[in-house]
Amino acid sequence: MSPEQTPGKLLIFTAPSGAGKTTLVRHLLQKFGQLAFSVSATTRPPRPGEEDGVDYHFLSLEEFRRRVAEGAFVEYEEVYPGRFYGTLHSEIERIRAAGRTVVFDIEVKGATNIKKHYPEDSLAVFVAPPSREVLFQRLRDRSTEDAESLRVRIARAAEELEYCHRFDRVLVNDELPAALAEAELIAREFLAI
């Protein structure tokens, strides 16, 4: 980091699976060059089209455990049974050192932990679906999960919806164009541009 550069801030998007975090985050990353994505590590297998090092760092359970023991993670969670996800210190530091704002797509407990680590520099946005029924329908329509994984995600999503009041902002993702515009407004305000 050059002496005149201030470290970047942290913009966190959190929500139950299927609420639309990934859709909103991808849009913002495309729109604002000041933002860079914190690529998490996970032990879940890649979905078709997902790239190692871009969408996630895909690790074996053994490798993930080794990184935990090394202290490589700011936070990690067993989000679904046997499926670990975690935020690497190295990702956050690399992006901040370049003076860019780190963007997260992360479940509610991880988001709470990131906020605790960076209380001054972070903003956490909870993406809420218009209703539970719409959320579950979006998860089904995404067609990325088998029946068991879908069941587990729906059960967890119902629990996660209760967390919305813990975050700085709530963004209701009903009509997509309106939600994208609101996400842009939040990002502009946070980046002060």
Contacting residues toward ligand ADP, per CB under 6 A: 15, 17-23, 138, 141-142, 173, 176, 179
**Contact pick of 8, 9, 25, 40 for ligand 5GP (by CB under 6 A):** 40
Mode of pairing for the β-strands spanning 83-88 and 41-42: antiparallel
Shorter beta-carbon distance to ligand 5GP: residue 87 or 101: 87
Please tell me whether residue 12 binds ligand 5GP under the rule CB under 6 A.
no
Among 78, 146, 70, CA closest to 107: 78
By CB under 6 A, which span of 28-36, 71-79, 133-141, 181-189 interacts with ligand 5GP? 71-79
By CB under 6 A, which span of 58-66, 80-88, 163-171, 174-182 interacts with ligand 5GP? 80-88
Please tell me whether residue 77 binds ligand 5GP under the rule CB under 6 A.
yes
Task: Please give the C-alpha separations between residue 19 and each of 2, 8, 174, in angstroms, as whole numbers.
Answer: 38, 27, 9
Residue 169 β-bridge partners: 125
Cα angle, residue 185 at apex, residues 179 and 188 outer, rounded to 5°: 140
